[in-house]
Amino acid sequence: MAHPTQLGFQDAASPVMEELLHFHDHALMIVFLISTMVLYIIAAMITTKLTNKYILDSQEIEIIWTVLPAIILILIALPSLRILYLMDEINNPHLTIKAVGHQWYWSYEYTDYEDLGFDSYMVPTSDLTPGQFRLLETDLRMVVPVESPIRILTSADDVLHSWAVPSLGIKMDAVPGRLNQTAFITARPGVFYGQCSEICGANHSFMPIVVEAVPLKHFEDWTSLMLDA
């Protein structure tokens, strides 16, 4: 969960988000080195006679500023493509959940169970209990087993929505008439918050997402309770 004055991303709760954080740090270091080099050259040109004909007309310099950007792009592209492949990889999911966006709430269907489905609405500020987060808490959470591959199918009933949970590294558009899919594995138990990341209308900011990762035994107890309700 994000906190005031926080810099950077939320703590990773899935292997994919850990890879994204590593890639962010990798790309940020490249940007920092480029910025440092450019600022140094500018300062040197201002304070010294670096702008002589040997620099402005140097073929070696032209080769360097042509080859170096190509190398930098390769250093950024290779890990990026690797992460894209990991994010698209869906192998033998243990559980499939369909998330359908509505104006303005989410509904969830556990497709591996015959009658397990529910609507998830934001808890009004007046009904919050101590410890709950305003505009982020829902009356029913999407509960999943920890350390299990989960496949999410997203769609929408009316307009474009987007199912996004930052700490899990997930952001998948929910498009009417289309079924998109993504997958994640929660690396630890916890409660992870997200929001619709597509501007879907007047109450766009009032359709939060709450994913609760619990041990398998607790998940089985929860499913039994929901099916008996």
Residue 59, strand partner residues: none
The pair of structure tokens assigned to 225 is 């309770």
What would the mean pLDDT of 76-94 be, rounded to a whole number?
Answer: 89
Q: Positive or negative, the Cα torsion across 50, 55, 60, 62?
A: positive
162 and 198 in contact (C-beta within 8 Å)? Answer: yes
pLDDT tens, 200-227? 999 999 999 999 999 999 999 999 999 8
**pLDDT confidence tier of residue 4, bands split at 50, 70 and 90:** confident
pLDDT: which is higher, 39 or 50: 39
Query: What is the pLDDT, as a whole number, of residue 114?
Result: 84
Residue 48 reports pLDDT greater than 80: no
The pair of structure tokens assigned to 158 is 């009316």
Residue 120 reports pLDDT greater than 90: yes
Query: What is the pLDDT, as a whole number, of residue 131?
Result: 87
For tokens 């990762």, the residue is: 213
pLDDT tens, 11-30? 899 999 999 999 999 999 99
204 and 218 in contact (C-beta within 8 Å)? Answer: no
Domain ranges of the chain: 15-88, 95-228
> Measured between alpha carbons, how far is 27 from 82 in angstroms, rounded to an integer?
14
pTM of the model as a whole: 0.84
Q: Between helices 59-88 and 15-47, what is the axis angle to 10°?
A: 170
> Measured between alpha carbons, how far is 197 from 213 in angstroms, rounded to an integer?
21
What would the mean pLDDT of 150-168 be, rounded to a whole number?
Answer: 95
Query: What is the pLDDT, as a whole number, of residue 52?
Result: 58
The pair of structure tokens assigned to 209 is 């997402």
Tell me the CA end-to-end span of the chain in Å, nearest whole number. Answer: 30
Neighbours of 184 (CB within 10 A): 26
SS3 content of the chain, % helix, strand, coil (to 5): 40, 25, 35
> Measured between alpha carbons, how far is 188 from 190 in angstroms, rounded to an integer?
6
> Measured between alpha carbons, how far is 157 from 57 in angstroms, rounded to an integer?
62
Query: What is the pLDDT, as a whole number, of residue 197?
Result: 94
CATH code given to domain 95-228 = 2.60.40.420
